[in-house]
């Protein structure tokens, strides 16, 4: 019998961070008396940007505004890699802007698919707290502005899939054992029937990378915010429990091969001279898996995850400015080797 | 543009025309989609089956101009008014996407007309403060004045 029966969050203090990478709460809102972003003219766009900048700066003067009009595609890609903006915001170009808090936990997109996409991201499993935090911004905006709202349909959004609460609560989860067991697909179907969706790393419709999946609510209308949060929270606990059980089983059945696979990855990454993005992604996933299975130790999994984020293509290019393709391969190999030697310790 | 309300429920906008022959001649009523269906069902159960002359669905939102074709292509509406104006096409999509037709039961934003007007007035002031073009500024000043007059008279018109 597994030692990981579904329990409360407090029952998983150590294992939590090796399964749940982050929590995100997103609220979609529109101002009344204006068409939605796709139908805005220049004057209306200017009014909305002016209004929302004023209100958001009143709420938090430390917010930094990024106008997509003036932003390079490289900078936009960096923000996309950090999940602070979406591809849809970049597509809206001159109409769009984003306001980001200094700690990069709050981001408010203006004129994405809707006038407002308020978002809070936490590196912790804190569904309810994250909602409280984004609600403080939402309440302030709600007190100052007229949102498009209908008694029956709730908050009115450009896409009917966001009506009602306008809320998407999601967890990013690292599920290598469940993925290796090939049971994840059937779990996806079970959760779908319960109104939850499980997708690859970058949200809607993209392939999974590095065994990381996004779990979020599908329904937003006819359900309350509290019930959505409960549902996502419970799904997080259930999947975490299943993943930890699957890891135990995998270790018992194939522990030696698993360890060999992870340590080979470590060997390659600490010794290679040239390293491509694809190879790095594949091997760092094995390192992360090795940390989760107890073959390695790291001071902070959050710091390790942040390192992986900084090594994403656009962020890497911006931070290191490689002179050539070979220079990039060389720099990447060096950075990864340094990081692993410093922060990832092999446990024998 | 004044919105014609459904003759049956008097709540939703009328998007369907229903005509029937009576002793006095042809009588035309306008209903929302849900009531139109009810009236039709009721009519079919009576001895006298009214003759339907024309079904009229709006194909374009009168506010933003979003067409049914645009909606079908992108599954995005153009403005808040599309949900009523094009309800006949959008409601089935809502039901499919949301998995049910349950109404909203979460956070609310219910405001009085006065509250809405006050907020709109504040918004105009913010926008006006950024305007450097005199001609443009005058348009906003006029709207602000109108709002201020409405508020001071305590009228309900929006």
Interface touch B78/A148, C-beta < 8 Å: no
Q: How many Cβ atoms are within 10 Å of A125's Cβ, its own excluded?
A: 22
Work out the angle at residue B38's Cα, subtended by the Cα atoms of residues B95 and B72, and round it to the nearest 5 degrees.
Answer: 35
- pLDDT at A209 (0 to 100): 64
d(CA A132, CA A226): 11
Q: Enumerate the residues of chain B whose CB falls inside 8 A of the CB of residue A36.
A: 64, 76-80
Interface touch A165/B107, C-beta < 8 Å: yes
Interface touch B79/A153, C-beta < 8 Å: no
Chain A interface includes B105 (CB < 8 A):
yes
The secondary structure element, H or E, covering residue A64 is: strand A64-67
Size of interface A-B (CB pairs under 8 A): 118
* pLDDT category of residue B1 using cuts at 50, 70 and 90: very low
- pLDDT at B132 (0 to 100): 84
- How does pLDDT run across B28-47, given as a tens digit for each residue? 888 877 777 777 766 665 54
Burial of A325 (0-12, 13-18, 19+ CB in 10 A): exposed
Q: Enumerate the residues of chain A whose CB falls inside 8 A of the CB of residue B77.
A: 36, 158-160
Residue of A nearest to B79 (CA): A35
- pLDDT at A52 (0 to 100): 95
- pLDDT at A83 (0 to 100): 84
Contacts of A209 (CB under 8 A, 6+ apart): A200, A201, A202, A281, A285
Interface touch A165/B123, C-beta < 8 Å: no
Q: Which value does ipTM take for this structure?
A: 0.82
* pLDDT category of residue B158 using cuts at 50, 70 and 90: very low
Q: Among A249-253, B16-20, B138-142, which stretch is predicted with the lowest mean pLDDT?
A: B16-20
A148 with A155: CB under 8 angstroms?
A: yes
- How does pLDDT run across B86-116, given as a tens digit for each residue? 998 999 999 999 988 899 999 999 888 889 9
Chain A interface includes B109 (CB < 8 A):
yes
Alpha helices in chain B (DSSP H): 33-45, 68-74, 82-85, 87-98, 113-129, 134-153
Of B106, B119, B126, the CB nearest to A165: B106
- pLDDT at B50 (0 to 100): 47
- pLDDT at B13 (0 to 100): 73
Of A147, A218, A222, the CB nearest to B104: A222
Contacts of A153 (CB under 8 A, 6+ apart): A163, A164, A221, B83, B94, B103, B104
Contacts of B7 (CB under 8 A, 6+ apart): B14, B29, B30, B31, B35
Of A148, A218, A224, the CB nearest to B105: A224
Does the structure show a pLDDT above 70 at B154?
no
Chain A interface includes B72 (CB < 8 A):
no
User: Measured between alpha carbons, how far is residue B126 from residues A86, A116, A144, A333, B151 in Å?
Assistant: 28, 18, 12, 52, 18
Chain A interface includes B79 (CB < 8 A):
yes
Interface touch A164/B98, C-beta < 8 Å: yes
Q: Which carries the bigger pLDDT value, residue A6 or residue B15?
A: B15
Q: Enumerate the residues of chain B whose CB falls inside 8 A of the CB of residue A149.
A: 108-110
Residue A119 forms beta bridges with which residues?
A26, A107
Interface touch A223/B106, C-beta < 8 Å: yes
Chain A interface includes B114 (CB < 8 A):
no
A238 with A6: CB under 8 angstroms?
A: yes
- pLDDT at B43 (0 to 100): 66
User: Measured between alpha carbons, how far is residue A35 from residues A162, A244, B95 in Å?
Assistant: 16, 48, 23
Q: Which carries the bigger pLDDT value, residue B26 or residue A239?
A: A239
Chain B interface includes A158 (CB < 8 A):
yes
Q: Which carries the bigger pLDDT value, residue B51 or residue B40?
A: B40
- pLDDT at A9 (0 to 100): 55
For the four alpha carbons of A280, A285, A286 and A287, in that order, the dihedral sign comes to positive
Of B64, B76, B111, the CB nearest to A146: B111
Interface touch B105/A156, C-beta < 8 Å: no
A187 with A197: CB under 8 angstroms?
A: no
- pLDDT at B3 (0 to 100): 59
Chain B interface includes A151 (CB < 8 A):
yes
Mutate to test the interface with B, among A28, A31, A35, A148 (most CBs of B within 10 A): A35
Interface touch A195/B103, C-beta < 8 Å: no
Q: Enumerate the residues of chain B whose CB falls inside 8 A of the CB of residue A91.
A: none
Interface touch A146/B119, C-beta < 8 Å: yes
d(CA A224, CA B144): 37
Written as six digits, the tokens of A125 are: 């499993």
Mutate to test the interface with A, among B93, B123, B128 (most CBs of A within 10 A): B123
Question: For chain B, what is the radius of gyration of the CA atoms?
Answer: 21
Does the structure show a pLDDT above 50 at B76?
yes
Residue of A nearest to B122 (CA): A144
- pLDDT at B48 (0 to 100): 46
Interface touch A36/B79, C-beta < 8 Å: yes
d(CA A182, CA A210): 15
Chain A interface includes B64 (CB < 8 A):
yes
Q: How many Cβ atoms are within 10 Å of A79's Cβ, its own excluded?
A: 22
- Flag residues of chain A having pLDDT under 70: 1-17, 201-209
Interface touch B79/A35, C-beta < 8 Å: yes
Interface touch A158/B76, C-beta < 8 Å: yes
Q: Residue A146: which of B135, B60, B39, B123 has the closest Cα? A: B123
């Amino acid at each position: 019998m597994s030692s990981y029966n579904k329990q409360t969050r407090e029952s998983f203090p150590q294992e939590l961070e090796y399964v749940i990478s982050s929590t995100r709460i997103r609220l979609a809102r529109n101002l009344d008396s204006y068409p939605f972003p796709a139908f805005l003219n220049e004057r209306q766009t200017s009014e909305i940007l002016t209004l929302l900048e004023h209100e958001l700066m009143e709420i938090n003067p430390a917010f930094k505004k990024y106008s997509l009009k003036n932003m390079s595609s490289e900078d936009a890609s960096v923000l996309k890699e950090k999940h602070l903006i979406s591809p849809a915001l970049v597509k809206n170009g001159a109409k769009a802007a984003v306001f980001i808090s200094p700690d990069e936990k709050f981001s408010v997109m203006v004129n994405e698919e809707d006038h407002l996409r308020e978002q809070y991201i936490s590196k912790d499993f804190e569904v309810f707290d994250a909602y409280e935090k984004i609600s403080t911004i939402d309440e302030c905006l709600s007190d100052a502005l007229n949102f498009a709202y209908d008694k029956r349909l709730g908050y009115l959004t450009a896409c009917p899939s966001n009506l009602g609460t306008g809320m998407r609560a999601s967890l990013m989860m690292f599920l290598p054992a469940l993925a290796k067991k090939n049971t994840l697909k059937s779990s996806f179907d079970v959760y779908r029937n319960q109104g939850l969706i499980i997708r690859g790393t970058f949200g809607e419709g993209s392939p999974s990378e590095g065994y990381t999946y996004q779990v979020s609510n599908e329904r937003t209308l006819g359900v309350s915010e509290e019930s959505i949060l409960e549902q996502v929270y419970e799904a997080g606990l259930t999947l975490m429990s299943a993943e930890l059980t699957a890891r135990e089983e995998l270790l018992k059945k194939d522990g030696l091969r698993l360890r060999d696979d992870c340590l080979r990855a470590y060997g390659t990454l600490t010794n290679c001279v040239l390293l491509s993005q694809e190879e790095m992604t594949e091997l760092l996933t094995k390192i992360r898996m090795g940390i989760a299975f107890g073959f390695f130790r790291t001071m902070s999994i959050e710091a390790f995850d942040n390192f992986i984020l900084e090594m994403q293509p656009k962020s890497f290019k911006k931070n290191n400015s490689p002179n050539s393709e070979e220079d990039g391969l060389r720099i990447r190999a060096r950075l990864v080797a340094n990081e692993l030697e410093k922060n990832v310790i092999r446990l024998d | 543009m004044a919105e014609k309300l459904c003759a049956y429920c008097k709540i939703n906008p009328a998007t369907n025309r229903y005509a029937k022959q009576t002793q006095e001649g042809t009588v035309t009523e306008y209903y929302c989609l849900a009531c139109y269906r009810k009236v039709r069902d009721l009519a079919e159960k009576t001895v006298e089956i009214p003759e339907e002359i024309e079904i009229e669905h709006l194909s374009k939102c009168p506010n933003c101009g979003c067409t049914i074709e645009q909606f079908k292509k992108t599954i995005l509406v153009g403005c808040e008014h599309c949900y009523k104006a094009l309800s006949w096409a959008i409601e089935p999509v809502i039901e499919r996407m949301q998995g049910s037709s349950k109404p909203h039961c979460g956070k609310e934003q219910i405001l009085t007309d006065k509250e809405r007007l006050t907020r709109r007035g504040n918004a105009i002031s913010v926008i006006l403060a950024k305007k450097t073009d005199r001609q443009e500024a005058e348009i906003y000043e006029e709207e602000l004045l109108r709002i201020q007059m409405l508020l001071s008279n305590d009228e309900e018109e929006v």
